[in-house]
Amino acid sequence: MDHAPLLTHAQAPLTHSVDVVNERGERYALAIPSERALTVYVDKRELITLMTLGEHPEWLVLGYLINQRLLQSAADVLSVTVDWDVGAAAVKTRHGIESLGEKTAQRVVTTGCGQGSVFGHWMDALDQVRLPDTRITQTELYAIVEAARLRDSVYKRAGSVHGCGLFVRDRALLFVEDVGRHNAIDTIAGWMALQQIASTDAVFYTTGRLTSEMVIKAAQMGVAVVVSRSGMTQMGHAVAQRLGLCAIGRATHKRFVCFSAPQRLEWQAELP
């Protein structure tokens, strides 16, 4: 892409071994997910500290800033430099962020596994969102659920993380795990911005529940179909209904619940 930002490729272990004792008094080593603090600085101004697994920290920071509507695109950024020795990410923008203090003054901290945060009013920009005419067949839905189930993951090795994936039809483009589903979707948003991925046929998958924040972020990424292994909250449902976003939850094996916009789901009665 033109004016692509310069990114470091900071690496950190995704799991950590600890000594534990089970119910029989047996001692052994067990892998648990790593969790580390990453303080984000934008043009030398401290913005927020994210608690993260650290799989793709540069994508996470970029996607976070775009999903918070502080930046419009990856082209607004000169560089993202992550240094795990000091737990910091330094972002240099091309032209600064106008009225950054005002934009970050109203901060909503969301609940869940790993704190998410939304600057400004949640619904301010919803009326500007225009979703593509994405459809998904039952066959494609089942293939996405199965691909996520079979994937070799930190969750299988150590538990205690959420996973999010981006699919086109039934083909996985990217799968990210983090201590919070908010971080995982932000990481995917950052990757999409860098790759300039068209979201026309994109389907978003998450192991976590579909809250209002997750639905809003998916919509801001231009994704019209979201699938969750878990359920959905009332506010998440209201936002999905308002946007015409297809939210599919409780998706395991060949069972699912379509919470909203069922017209985007192509039913196949002949399937077993």
Rounded to an integer, what distance in angstroms lies between the CA atom of residue 236 and that of residue 211? 5
3-state secondary structure of 219: helix
Same domain, 116 and 177: no
Q: CB–CB of 245/130 below 8 Å?
A: no
**110 inside domain:** yes
Phi and psi for 158 in degrees, rounded to 5?
Answer: -135, -10
Q: Based on the structure, what is the number of domains in the chain?
A: 2
pTM confidence score: 0.88
- pLDDT at residue number 114: 47
- pLDDT at residue number 157: 83
**1 inside domain:** no
- pLDDT at residue number 106: 56
- pLDDT at residue number 110: 52
CATH number at residue 11: 3.10.20.10
Q: Which domain holds residue 60?
A: 6-121
Same domain, 166 and 140: yes
Same domain, 163 and 107: no
Same domain, 148 and 217: yes
**272 inside domain:** no
Rounded to an integer, what distance in angstroms lies between the CA atom of residue 53 and that of residue 57? 9
CATH number at residue 161: 3.40.140.10
Rounded to an integer, what distance in angstroms lies between the CA atom of residue 42 and that of residue 12? 22
Mean pLDDT by 10 residues, the chain (272 residues): 86 92 90 93 92 95 93 95 97 88 60 51 72 94 94 81 91 92 94 86 94 92 95 91 94 94 90 74
Rounded to an integer, what distance in angstroms lies between the CA atom of residue 199 and that of residue 167? 10
Phi and psi for 100 in degrees, rounded to 5?
Answer: -60, -40
Q: What is the DSSP letter of 4?
A: P
Same domain, 161 and 105: no
The strand pairing partners of 93, in sequence order, are 77
- pLDDT at residue number 158: 80
Torsion angle (degrees, nearest 10) of CA 252, 257, 260, 262: 90
Phi and psi for 235 in degrees, rounded to 5?
Answer: -70, -40
**173 inside domain:** yes
Place of tokens 């994508």: 59
- pLDDT at residue number 271: 79
**242 inside domain:** yes
